[in-house]
Copies of this chain bind each other. A is one copy, B any other.
């Protein structure tokens, strides 16, 4: 069965999945790198970006599961781009350079569809204006029987949780207080009842939560 999964999704203690004020030079707004430092230290992240080294402890073990068995990703417009509204400049190819680390079809949710963009390494960005259910249907079809990853950001994960479409959710609680930004949990009171929850703390200070549909 093809599952819908979320991996390596960082949250601050106050429940923000990203900071306020996203800009071209600040993809996570005022949060900077603080939500993802644990990830940047892992061998998994280094390998995604063609680098060597990186930690191989529990943070890496958890991070590494992000692409196994994944056949497509769905992401929000704001994960793809710092721009809002109609596309002013179709040369923008995402934050990831010529060879993005996805290597699968990626469905970008936007109210402003545009032609698909084929990148090196097997990543193709498709721009669709679709409900969560319809997006999962299209992504599953493109995934050829493999799982679908919901890549974020927070409002995208929230929408798919609200639609009860997520089977596995890997959260990483980072012990920082952001004060503002984009909350994951708004409107999701009681959602834990649909999941079996496990948690493990890492020496880095973060705590990995895995929520698996009951």
Judged by a CB distance under 8 angstroms, whether A124 is at the interface is: no
Judged by a CB distance under 8 angstroms, whether A200 is at the interface is: yes
Q: How many residues of A contact B (CB 8 A)?
A: 32
- Cα A213 to Cα B197 in complex, Å, equals 31
Nearest CB of chain B from residue A181's CB, rounded to whole Å = 9
Judged by a CB distance under 8 angstroms, whether A188 is at the interface is: yes
B residues near A188, Cβ cutoff 8 Å: 14, 177, 179
- Known contacts A13-B15, A14-B183; is-contact A175 B192 (Cβ 8 Å): yes
Whether the Cβ atoms of A13 and B177 lie closer than 8 Å is: no
Nearest CB of chain B from residue A126's CB, rounded to whole Å = 31
- Cα A209 to Cα B198 in complex, Å, equals 16
Judged by a CB distance under 8 angstroms, whether A205 is at the interface is: yes
B residues near A198, Cβ cutoff 8 Å: 205
Whether the Cβ atoms of B178 and A14 lie closer than 8 Å is: no
- Cα A14 to Cα B205 in complex, Å, equals 19
Which residue in chain B gives the minimum CB-CB distance to A171?
B13
Q: Can you list, as one digit per residue, whether each of A167-191 has a CB less than 8 Å from chain B (1) or not (0)? A: 0000101011111100111111111
Whether the Cβ atoms of A207 and B197 lie closer than 8 Å is: no
B residues near A186, Cβ cutoff 8 Å: 14
Judged by a CB distance under 8 angstroms, whether A199 is at the interface is: yes
Judged by a CB distance under 8 angstroms, whether A99 is at the interface is: no
Judged by a CB distance under 8 angstroms, whether A52 is at the interface is: no
Nearest CB of chain B from residue A213's CB, rounded to whole Å = 15
Whether the Cβ atoms of B187 and A179 lie closer than 8 Å is: yes
- Cα A209 to Cα B12 in complex, Å, equals 13
Whether the Cβ atoms of A199 and B209 lie closer than 8 Å is: no
Nearest CB of chain B from residue A77's CB, rounded to whole Å = 24
Binding site for B on A (CB under 8 A): 11, 13-15, 171, 173, 175-180, 183-192, 197-201, 205-207, 209, 211
Q: List 25 A-B contacts (CB under 8 A).
A: A13-B15, A13-B171, A13-B173, A13-B185, A13-B192, A13-B209, A14-B15, A14-B186, A14-B189, A15-B15, A173-B173, A175-B192, A175-B209, A175-B211, A176-B190, A177-B188, A177-B189, A177-B191, A179-B187, A179-B189, A180-B189, A199-B205, A199-B206, A201-B201, A207-B207
